Every structure is written in structure tokens, then in C-alpha cells.
């Protein structure tokens, strides 16, 4: 298996867009291809990550459509749908294509246009990833699953509403330094939890989760260009190498897990990625975790091996995961504040890691970052992809 | 017709004595303090200045809300509407949003518009709640007739309170079938939707005396929810 490098990346601003899904994906793809500066080298394959185009945007076969839009003929092309982990799954497919020598240059683009439909419909669309007979038919939504998970976590490990709010405040503060982030708003503990008005400012969505514990519904796209490590070295690029990739699955229905607070697929995917990279969690300089709900950042920070089980919230409390801490988590703002166009998220996490490793993250730059980790969480933890990237000096 | 003043008197609707809305202060999610207070007729021109650019913003029906709000405030200033009032939300004196409406009679209120300038902090929700508080707790009305001109408004008012249908009554905003907020519904919703503290500390009240307008570009950026990449 040959080494793989990321030589180009770009994303659109996340949020509410007037652009179509294809326009969004076209914009980020062109940005990544410009960044890669390929000259006359052809793109051999295109992997498109998306979860809902058929339902939300009435469009199918979007990989072929993107190739056509970008005039990348006769590149191989296919779409990858793996729920909210579609982005990292598409990236994994791209990695495999380059590593196996099936392709030299691969474009990976994730995109979603969710604001096309109203909030009720989009909540139902996301809920369609739950177990059809055991969860969905009973009206389960993702906020509901996350609410039950959070309640159990709070009871068992001493996580409080303040800890959840700390994640929200930290990630919204990080997002203020990220011009691509959906949410550009500072929030305070007083305003979202302690003031008498907090009940209106931050209403319950799914007890104990409140409005600011949940990610927004976003439109957006993100893209990466991959090539063999050797080719990147010949091009004289600042190289970001893909050193670890792991993926694992778990039961579809959350209640079938022996302990619903254990995110086994996160743990296994992370272990595989670290083993492949030859690193331990202690050697990671920053991480992008899948904080669709604030509780998930805390839980994933433990399952990925950064902190002991039940101690993620203590690390948060000590500021270890803040931008200036020992292990900044979600310097981009995470899903919570950068936004969560589901198919784009896994790719956007990696775009952030590449910017950080190349020293191009602006005001949110983690100084001296060399190894970085991402966790893209599909379903409610039933399909997880973990990635480790490294800056090659 | 004797003179211009007599004619003007004929053109003006009669006015009912309305108690003032007592100002209150609300801590927003950002930690900022928003003072909500009633405006005088003399303050209408500055609000018109804030509203005018939004008449051309199609997103989220700002155009129709702004155009109608502009006309309603102008009518208030020129004495061509009966028993209208307007409340504003001010953060450090800077206009964050405004709401208006009028009394139809001593029992029935007619809610007009809610226009948010500082978006993303539930300013609109707070101001709409203040408007309902004014109708039901200070004007002591029995019910308020309400319609929404945008899906956001529908979610905020019809679903969140929740309002009841009163379709047999055409609302003044275009003859749209009305929804109604009764005293019972209001007081049931009050604990989760109506907030704020009184009295407002004098230093905050002082800051809220004059209305400061945000820059037009800032207003448009806030309303459209856009921040330029690279900024």
C-alpha cells in the first residue's frame, strides 16, 4: 500500500445558502483543485459524500453530475451514503483508491443542502437513519436519542448541564475565529443557563438537551484532493499525510448495546486509526470530534482514548480541550458551531485538520500542530470513521 | 369646514388612553442586556430609517414585514391609525428589534409585526412575548388576534404558544384568517416564553433613552445571517 497525501482542500461557508447543492459542491471542488494546483494532471476518480440529495433536493446520481459540472471526464465517479459519516467514508474510499494504485489523483467532495426543506421535514429526514422497526416508528429523533444518552451519561458520570454548556460556549467561541462557520455568535453561561431569561434563550429540545446543546441545520460543501505521497513530494507541496484510518460499526438500535453509554464503534475505529498511524492518543495535537450534540464531544473524547471513561467533562472543565489547552478539540467550532451539512461534515473535519497542519488556520491556529485526529460519527454511533493526519516536514 | 385644524381633527381617529408599557431588561444568550421599552411618536423617524433598507430584503419575508411596519409607524406618527403602540429592544442603546400592534377595543388587541435586526439571540421571541405581555397584563385585554407572514413567525407564535384558530375573523393584515392568544393560553405559556426584570437599573435605562441605529450594512449582514469569508 503506497502512502497518500492530501494536497488540496477547500470548503464553502456553512450556513444557509441560496446556492443549489451542485453549485455548493462545485464551489468547494474548484477551490480544492485550485489549492492542489495540479497543472495538467487529470483527476482519476471522484467520490461524493451525501446523505439526502434524493429526498431533500430531488436529485440522484450526484457524483456523475459533479463530474459533468467540473468537466472532469472520464474520471471514475460514485456517491457514498453512510449517514452522517458519509464524508469520512467517501474519504476512506478515496484513500483506498490512491493507496491501491487504482487512481493517482482523487477528488473527495461532501455536500448537503438541508435548508431546502422546513425544520420538521429535516428532523424527520435525519431520523430516518434510526432503526426502522425499533426506533423510527416510535417517533425517535436524533435529539431524542441524544437526550436519553445525555441523561444516562449525566447520571452515571456526573456530567452536568454546566459541562454541556461549556462545550457549546467553547465551540461557539472557536467558530467566531472561523469565517466558514455557520454560527457566529458568542454565548455566555449566564445567558444560556443561569439568568432567569435562560429558559427562553435556551429552551429544552430533548431533556436534558437545550437549544444550544444541538448543532444547527446547515447547507455547505467541503472538498479534498488526494494523491500518492511521492507525487506530492515531487510537486514540492506542504505535505499532509494520511497516516491512520479506522472504521467500525455497532448495533443499529441503541438499546441493544450492553451499555448505551459506551460508544464502542468510536473506540474501535480510533484504535484502528491510531494503530495504523503508529501513534497513541497522547501524541495528537488537536482533534475534530462529531459534536452534533454537546454530550457527544465529551463521550467521544473518552472513547477515542484522550481521557479515561467518565473524565472527559473534567478535562473540559480544566480547559484542556480549549483552543489554548493541551488538546484543543473542535477548533473549527465543530458541528455545534461550524455547522452540520451531514454529507459534508466528515470532509470539513479533515479540511480543518489540513489547514491546522499547514499552519493556515488563522486566528484559531493550534501552534506547532503535527498530528491531528478526526471522528466522523454515523447513525447514533453505529458506523464511525476515525482518521489521523500528519504534517510531513 | 372652518380651517385646516378642523379638517385634520376629522381625519384623525379617536385615541384611547393607554397605560405605558413599563420598561424591562432581558439578559440574552450572549450575556448582553436588552432593554425593552415603548417609543413615543417623536422617535418614529429614526425607526423608519432603520426599517427602510429592509423593504428590499426578500429573505424570510423581511420585505413585506418591513414595508408594512414602515407604513404602520408612519400612520402612527401622522395620526392615521387608532391606538397603535410600538416597543423596541435596545442593546447598549443600539436597536435590536421592534414590535407593534394596536387596540381594536378594550377587549381585543390586534398584533401587527415583529421585526428582528439582531438575529440569532431570540430577540424576536422576547419582543413578541413583551408585546403579548403588554396586551394581556397592562392593557388587560381578553384576547389578541395574530397572523404570521413567515414560516419563522408561524413556528414562533402559532406552534410555540400555541395559538388557537379564529378563522372567522379576518386579520387587519391582509384579511388573513386570524389566530388568537387568549388570557388562558398566555398565562400557561408565560413561564417558558415571557421573561425580563423590572425595574430596569437606571444606568441601563439611561443608555436606552436614545435609539442608536446599527450601520445599514451591519443590519443587512445580520438579517441575512452572512459574514464574509475572510472577514
Q: What is the pLDDT of residue B218?
A: 83
Within an 8 Å CB–CB cutoff, is residue A186 touching chain B?
A: yes
* pLDDT score recorded for residue B36: 98
Closest C-alpha among B128, B133, B114 to residue B54: B114
- A-chain residues near B129 (CB < 8 A): 200
Q: Do B229 and A180 touch (CB under 8 A)?
A: yes
Decide if B60 contacts B150 (C-beta within 8 A): yes
Distance from CA of A210 to the nearest CA of B (A): 12
Phi, psi of A331 (to 5 degrees): -60, -25
Q: What's the CATH code of the domain at A221? A: 3.40.47.10
CA distance A219 to A21: 8
pLDDT at B220: 79
**A107 in a domain, yes or no?**
yes
Question: pLDDT band at residue A391, thresholds of 50, 70 and 90?
Answer: very high
In a domain, A98, yes or no: yes
Is there a contact between A197 and B27 if contact means CB atoms under 8 Å apart? yes
**Residue B64, all three cell numbers:** 413585506
H or E segment to which residue A237 belongs: none
Q: Does any CB of chain B come closer than 8 Å to the CB of residue A239?
A: no
- Using a CB-CB distance cutoff of 8 angstroms, which residues of chain A are in contact with residue B125? 200
Residues of B with CB under 8 A from a CB of A: 26-32, 120-122, 125-126, 129, 151, 155, 191-197, 225-231
Q: What is the mean pLDDT of residues A115-135?
A: 95
Model pTM score:
0.94
Task: With a cut of 90, say whether residue A27 has pLDDT above it.
Answer: yes
A188–B30 CB contact, under 8 Å = yes
pLDDT higher than 70, residue B210: yes
Q: What is the pLDDT of residue B227?
A: 52
The predicted-structure confidence for B94-130, as pLDDT tens digits, reads as follows 999 999 999 999 999 999 999 999 999 999 999 999 9
Residue B4 pLDDT class (50, 70, 90 cuts): confident
Examine the pLDDT at B222 and tell me if it is beyond 90.
Answer: no
Smallest Cβ distance to A199: which of B195, B226, B230?
A: B195
- A80 in any annotated domain: yes
Select the residue of B29, B194, B197 nearest A201 (Cβ to Cβ): B29
Q: Does residue B231 have a pLDDT over 60?
A: no
Query: What integer pLDDT is reported at residue B226 of this predicted model?
Result: 56
Distance CA A130, CA A109 (A): 25
Kindly report, residue by residue over A224-278, the tens digit of the pLDDT.
Answer: 999 999 999 999 888 999 999 999 999 999 999 999 999 999 999 999 999 999 9
Does residue B6 have a pLDDT over 60?
yes
Q: Is residue A88 part of a domain?
A: yes
Query: Which domains, ranges and CATH numbers included, belong to chain B?
Result: 19-222 (3.40.630.30)
Q: Is the per-residue pLDDT at B178 higher than 60?
A: yes
Domain residue limits at A105: 4-117+217-235
B120 → chain A, closest CA residue: A185
pLDDT category at A220 given cuts 50, 70, 90 is very high
Q: What is the mean pLDDT of residues A124-143?
A: 97
pLDDT at residue B229 is higher than 70: no
Strand ranges inside chain B, DSSP E: 24-27, 33-38, 84-91, 94-103, 108-116, 143-146, 164-170, 177-182
Cell of A65: 453530475
Look at residue B30 in the predicted model and tell me its pLDDT: 97
A183/A181 Cα distance (integer angstroms): 6
CB within 8 Å: B27 and A199: no
Q: A285 in a domain, yes or no?
A: no
Note whether ipTM > 0.85 here. Answer: yes
Mean pLDDT of the B200-220 span: 93
Helices (H), A37-178: 62-70, 86-99, 119-127, 142-157, 161-175
Between vectors from CA A64 to CA A62 and to CA A67, what angle results, nearest 5°?
110
Report how many domains make up chain A: 1
Residue A174, domain member (yes or no): no
Report the distance separating Cα B19 and Cα A228, nearest Å: 75
| Res B230: pLDDT | 41
Predicted local confidence at residue A393, as pLDDT: 84
- Is A169 a member of any domain? no
Kindly state whether A183 is in contact with chain B, defined as any CB-CB distance less than 8 angstroms: yes
Query: Residue A133 and residue A131: Cα distance in Å, rounded?
Result: 6
Distance CA(B133)–CA(B129), nearest Å, equals: 6
The β-bridge relationship of strands A209-210 and A204-206 is antiparallel
Q: Is residue A91 part of a domain?
A: yes
Least confident of A112-116, B125-129, B221-225: B221-225
Q: For residue A264, what is its C-alpha cell? A: 464502542
Kindly list the distances between the CA atom of residue A374 and the CA atoms of A59, A172, A312, in Å, as whole numbers in the listed order: 29, 19, 16
Look at A196 and B195 and tell me if their CB atoms are within 8 Å. Answer: yes
Nearest chain B alpha carbon to A169: B30
A184 interfaces chain B, CB cutoff of 8 Å: yes
Least Cα separation, residue A191 to chain B (angstroms): 4
pLDDT digit string, tens, across residues B17-46: 999 999 999 999 999 999 999 999 999 999
Query: What confidence tens digit (pLDDT) does each residue in A173-186 have?
Result: 999 999 999 999 99
Q: Assess A200–B contact: CB distance below 8 Å, yes or no.
A: yes
Check whether A332 has a pLDDT greater than 80.
Answer: yes
Interval A22-40 mean pLDDT: 97
In Å, what is the CA distance from A296 to each residue of A92, A245, B60, B123? 22, 20, 32, 29
Q: Is residue A146 over pLDDT 60? A: yes
Whether chain B has a CB inside 8 Å of the CB on A196: the answer is: yes
CA–CA–CA angle B113, B116, B120 (5° rounding):
140
Q: Does B2 score more than 70 pLDDT?
A: no
Position A275 scores a pLDDT of 98
pLDDT band of B223, cuts 50, 70, 90: confident
- Average model confidence (pLDDT) across chain B: 94
Task: State the average pLDDT over residues A145-152.
Answer: 98
Amino acid at each position: 500500500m503506497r502512502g497518500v497525501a492530501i494536497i488540496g482542500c477547500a470548503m464553502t461557508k456553512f450556513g444557509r445558502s441560496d446556492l443549489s447543492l451542485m453549485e455548493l459542491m462545485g464551489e468547494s471542488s474548484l477551490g480544492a483543485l485550485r489549492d492542489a494546483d495540479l497543472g495538467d494532471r487529470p483527476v482519476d476518480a471522484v467520490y461524493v459524500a451525501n446523505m439526502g440529495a434524493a429526498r431533500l433536493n430531488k436529485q440522484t446520481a450526484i457524483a456523475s453530475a459533479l463530474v459533468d459540472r467540473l468537466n472532469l471526464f472520464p474520471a471514475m465517479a460514485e456517491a457514498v451514503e453512510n449517514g452522517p459519516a458519509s464524508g469520512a467514508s467517501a474519504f476512506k474510499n478515496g484513500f483506498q483508491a490512491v493507496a491501491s494504485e487504482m487512481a493517482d489523483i482523487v477528488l473527495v467532495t461532501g455536500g448537503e443542502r438541508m435548508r431546502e426543506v422546513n425544520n420538521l421535514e429535516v428532523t424527520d429526514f435525519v431520523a430516518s437513519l434510526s432503526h426502522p422497526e425499533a426506533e423510527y416508528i416510535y417517533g425517535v429523533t436524533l435529539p431524542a436519542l441524544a437526550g436519553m444518552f445525555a441523561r444516562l451519561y449525566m447520571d452515571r458520570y456526573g456530567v452536568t448541564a454546566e459541562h454541556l454548556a461549556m462545550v457549546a460556549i467553547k465551540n461557539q467561541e472557536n467558530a467566531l475565529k472561523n469565517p466558514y462557520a455557520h454560527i457566529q455568535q458568542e454565548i455566555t453561561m449566564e445567558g444560556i443557563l443561569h439568568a432567569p431569561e435562560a429558559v427562553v434563550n435556551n429552551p429544552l429540545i430533548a431533556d436534558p438537551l437545550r437549544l444550544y446543546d444541538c448543532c444547527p441545520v446547515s447547507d455547505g460543501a467541503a472538498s479534498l484532493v488526494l494523491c500518492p505521497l511521492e507525487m506530492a513530494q515531487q510537486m514540492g507541496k506542504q505535505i499532509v499525510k494520511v497516516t491512520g484510518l479506522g472504521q467500525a460499526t455497532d448495533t443499529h438500535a441503541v438499546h441493544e448495546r450492553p451499555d448505551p453509554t459506551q460508544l464502542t464503534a468510536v473506540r474501535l475505529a480510533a484504535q484502528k486509526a491510531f494503530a495504523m498511524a503508529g501513534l497513541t492518543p497522547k501524541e495528537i495535537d488537536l482533534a475534530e470530534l462529531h459534536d452534533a450534540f454537546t454530550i457527544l464531544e465529551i463521550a467521544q473524547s473518552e472513547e477515542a482514548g484522550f481521557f479515561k471513561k467518565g473524565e472527559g467533562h473534567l478535562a473540559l472543565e480544566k480547559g484542556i480541550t480549549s483552543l489554548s489547552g493541551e488538546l484543543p478539540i473542535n477548533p473549527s467550532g465543530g458541528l455545534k458551531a461550524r455547522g452540520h451539512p451531514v454529507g459534508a461534515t466528515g470532509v470539513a473535519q479533515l479540511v480543518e485538520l489540513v489547514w491546522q497542519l499547514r499552519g493556515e488556520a488563522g486566528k484559531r491556529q493550534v501552534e506547532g500542530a503535527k498530528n491531528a485526529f478526526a471522528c466522523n460519527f454515523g447513525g447514533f454511533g453505529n458506523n464511525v470513521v476515525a482518521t489521523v493526519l500528519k504534517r510531513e516536514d | 369646514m372652518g380651517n385646516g385644524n378642523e379638517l385634520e381633527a376629522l381625519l384623525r381617529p379617536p385615541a384611547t388612553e393607554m397605560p405605558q408599557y413599563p420598561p424591562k431588561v432581558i439578559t440574552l444568550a450572549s450575556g448582553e442586556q436588552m432593554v425593552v421599552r415603548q417609543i413615543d411618536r417623536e422617535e418614529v423617524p429614526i425607526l423608519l430609517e432603520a426599517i427602510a433598507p429592509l423593504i428590499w430584503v426578500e429573505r424570510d419575508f423581511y420585505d413585506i414585514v418591513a414595508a408594512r411596519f414602515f407604513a404602520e409607524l408612519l400612520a402612527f406618527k401622522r395620526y392615521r391609525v387608532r391606538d397603535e403602540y410600538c416597543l423596541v429592544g435596545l442593546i447598549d442603546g443600539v436597536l435590536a428589534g421592534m414590535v407593534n400592534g394596536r387596540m381594536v377595543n378594550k377587549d381585543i388587541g390586534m398584533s401587527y409585526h415583529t421585526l428582528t435586526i439582531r438575529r440569532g439571540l431570540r430577540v424576536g421571541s422576547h419582543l413578541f412575548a413583551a408585546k403579548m405581555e403588554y396586551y394581556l397584563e397592562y392593557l388587560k385585554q381578553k384576547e389578541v388576534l395574530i397572523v404570521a407572514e413567515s414560516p419563522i413567525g408561524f413556528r414562533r407564535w402559532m406552534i410555540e404558544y400555541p395559538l388557537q384558530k379564529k378563522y372567522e375573523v379576518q386579520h387587519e393584515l391582509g384579511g388573513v384568517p386570524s389566530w388568537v392568544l387568549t388570557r388562558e393560553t398566555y398565562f400557561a405559556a408565560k413561564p417558558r416564553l415571557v421573561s425580563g426584570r423590572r425595574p430596569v437599573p437606571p444606568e441601563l435605562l439611561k443608555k436606552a433613552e436614545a435609539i442608536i441605529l446599527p450601520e445599514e450594512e451591519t443590519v443587512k449582514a445580520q438579517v441575512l445571517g452572512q459574514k464574509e469569508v475572510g472577514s
